Chains A and B, each alone.
Chain A
Amino acid sequence: MRRTLAIVEYTVKENIRHRIFYTILLFALVIILSSVLFSMLSGEEEVRVILDIGLGAIEIFAFLSAVFAAVSLILGEMEDKSVSLILTRPVRRFEYIWGRYIGILSISLTNILLMSSALLFLLLVKSWVFDFRFLLAVAFIFLKVVIISALAILLSLISTSAISSISATFFLWILGHVTGHLKYLNHVLLEKGIKITIFLKAIYYLLPNFQYLNVKDYIGYPNPLPGTTIFWQLAYSLAYASVATWLSVLIFSRKEF
């Protein structure tokens, strides 16, 4: 555990000293602040616009920061071989992967908390009535990052370049938001006599279902989010990320440097 924590600590340090960390954070804060300008155009829905743009920006920039960290740190360290000076010490390969993963999540969580605080401050200035689902939405953005970071690490271990790894992760992010439509697609295809249900089901279960974690859509509406749903969303995210991370461990254990 101490070795994993040492790797977590240096991952955080590496991220903080990376210029891209501040660039992403700065861009996010600019977008969140500029949501006030957009809200002026929307008349009565001012707060809703700030909320939507703000949470959207938090999600996108949290995704970007996690993916860049996962890809640049892990792939970069494998490419320049600096990983060899870590693995020739008494470090198990799974400790390295989990250490890196938890480090990336720690920095993403810090990012999300900073961005959310800025958004919350803006909303409260605009006399928004606090809805606890705001916190839930932020937590679920983090859960999406938990999944996508695990996938980014996995893809950076498979791919040969940062570009292909980032593109593949981005592709999965997009697909993960439309997996719900696969059920409808299956229904339409069945009506036309095309039976590829098993194939579509396989894709449906294999791809991450980010739409399932979109709690931000519930804020401001009267329908509550049931506790059991939250439990299953949480369980789904943790299970998906764990499987992806253990797959990374499996691949990394066989890698030669």
Chain B
Amino acid sequence: MVAIKTEGLTKVYKRTHLFWTKRTRALENLDLEIEDRKVFGLLGLNGSGKTTLLKLLVGLIFPTEGSSYIFGQKVPNLSILSRIGYLPEIPCFLMYLTASELLHFYGKLYRFSPRERKKRVESTLDLVDLRENRNDRLTDFSKGMLERIGIAQVLLHDPELLLLDEPASGLDPLGIKKLRQTILRLKEEGKTIVLSSHFVTEVERVCDEVGILHKGKLKRVVEMKGREKSLEDIFGETVTEEGE
């Protein structure tokens, strides 16, 4: 089954300064299909369109042209959002809340019953080793703890599809290892995971397929099993073909 499908997806950002409008083509005519129960990596340099694609899928921005579908339904779609867990590149939380209050608030947005919500909040906090800090305000959290609460808010509603934007960017080596273990465990549970990164080795270790984005275009989709070259070499060749 196809989890994500995009057809001619294009995004042009417009920035208007008085009488002058600057247009930036962030994503261009993207046709992509991602099978469910797979870990799909989006690899690309800064500004290649990875974040734009993920934001389009969750409806934070709107396409200039084209359309995208998640589990066969056109997005943006409210019912689909309850099946997605999204981690932005720089997650910003409601810092005046405690870890538990934050997750309870998000839980309310999914309309969980109080009992169900309590159960999910506690098990999610356990999962990310934050049970002891559940009554601490997020303002008192370290960077690593904030990253973990970021993962917790993704997992709270047990989504079928996880969209992770640069999940390893702020983590220390131990954090990266834990994240890798979490991704592999979720994959075993049958989740579909799309993660964007510019860490080639991390992508190589967890992904089944990798899409290489460059200057807003999907240059190549690499099947990780049976490839003859390292991903680093393939990525290097792909982006330098453009004369970089």
Q: How far is the CA of A90 from the CA of B96 in the complex (A)?
A: 23
In chain A, what residue has the closest Cβ to B88? A84
A89 CB contact (under 8 Å) in B92, B96, B101, B110? B110
Contact with B along A1-30 (1 / 0, CB 8 A): 011011001100110011000000000000
- Interfacial chain B residues near A205, Cβ < 8 Å: none
- Interfacial chain B residues near A223, Cβ < 8 Å: none
**Pairwise interchain contact A89-B88, C-beta atoms closer than 8 A:** no
**Pairwise interchain contact B153-A85, C-beta atoms closer than 8 A:** yes
Chain A interface residue count, CB cutoff 8 Å, equals 26
In chain A, what residue has the closest Cβ to B150? A85
Interface assignment of A188: CB less than 8 Å from any CB of chain B: no
8 Å CB interface, B86-105 against A: 86, 88, 90-97, 101, 105
**Pairwise interchain contact B82-A6, C-beta atoms closer than 8 A:** no
B81 CB contact (under 8 Å) in A14, A84, A90? A90
Interface assignment of B58: CB less than 8 Å from any CB of chain A: yes
Which chain A residues have a beta carbon within 8 Å of chain B's beta carbons? 2-3, 5-6, 9-10, 13-14, 17-18, 77, 80-82, 84-92, 254, 256-257
What's the nearest-Cβ distance from chain B to residue A13, in Å?
7
Known: A81-B88, A85-B91. A14 touches B79 (CB 8 A): no
In chain B, what residue has the closest Cβ to A96? B109
Known: A88-B86, A256-B61. A82 touches B94 (CB 8 A): yes
**Pairwise interchain contact A85-B108, C-beta atoms closer than 8 A:** no
Which chain B residues have a beta carbon within 8 Å of chain A's beta carbons? 55, 58-62, 78-79, 81-82, 84, 86, 88, 90-97, 101, 105-106, 108-111, 153
A90 CB contact (under 8 Å) in B62, B82, B101? B82
Known: A88-B81, A89-B81, A90-B82. A2 touches B59 (CB 8 A): no
Known: A88-B58, A256-B61. A82 touches B92 (CB 8 A): yes
- Interfacial chain B residues near A81, Cβ < 8 Å: 88, 90, 92
Interface pairs (22), CB distance under 8 Å: A3-B111, A6-B105, A10-B94, A10-B97, A13-B96, A13-B101, A17-B96, A81-B90, A82-B94, A84-B60, A87-B60, A89-B106, A90-B79, A90-B81, A90-B109, A90-B110, A91-B109, A254-B62, A256-B60, A256-B62, A257-B55, A257-B61
| Interface SS of chain B | loop
Known: A81-B88, A84-B60, A257-B61. A89 touches B109 (CB 8 A): yes
Known: A6-B109, A84-B60, A256-B60. A90 touches B91 (CB 8 A): no
- Interfacial chain A residues near B101, Cβ < 8 Å: 13
- Interfacial chain A residues near B93, Cβ < 8 Å: 82, 85
Most buried by B among A14, A84, A92, A254: A84
In chain B, what residue has the closest Cβ to A1? B111
Q: How far is the CA of A14 from the CA of B78 in the complex (A)?
A: 26
Q: How far is the CA of A18 from the CA of B81 in the complex (A)?
A: 31
**Pairwise interchain contact A87-B59, C-beta atoms closer than 8 A:** yes
What's the nearest-Cβ distance from chain B to residue A91, in Å?
5
Most buried by A among B55, B82, B94: B94
- Interfacial chain A residues near B110, Cβ < 8 Å: 89-90
**Pairwise interchain contact A14-B94, C-beta atoms closer than 8 A:** yes
What's the nearest-Cβ distance from chain B to residue A18, in Å?
7
* A-B pairs, 10 with minimum CB distance: A6-B108, A82-B92, A256-B61, A88-B86, A89-B109, A88-B58, A17-B96, A80-B92, A90-B82, A257-B60
Q: How far is the CA of A218 from the CA of B106 in the complex (A)?
A: 47
**Pairwise interchain contact B108-A88, C-beta atoms closer than 8 A:** no
Q: How far is the CA of A164 from the CA of B153 in the complex (A)?
A: 34
Known: A6-B109, A13-B96, A80-B92. A88 touches B60 (CB 8 A): yes
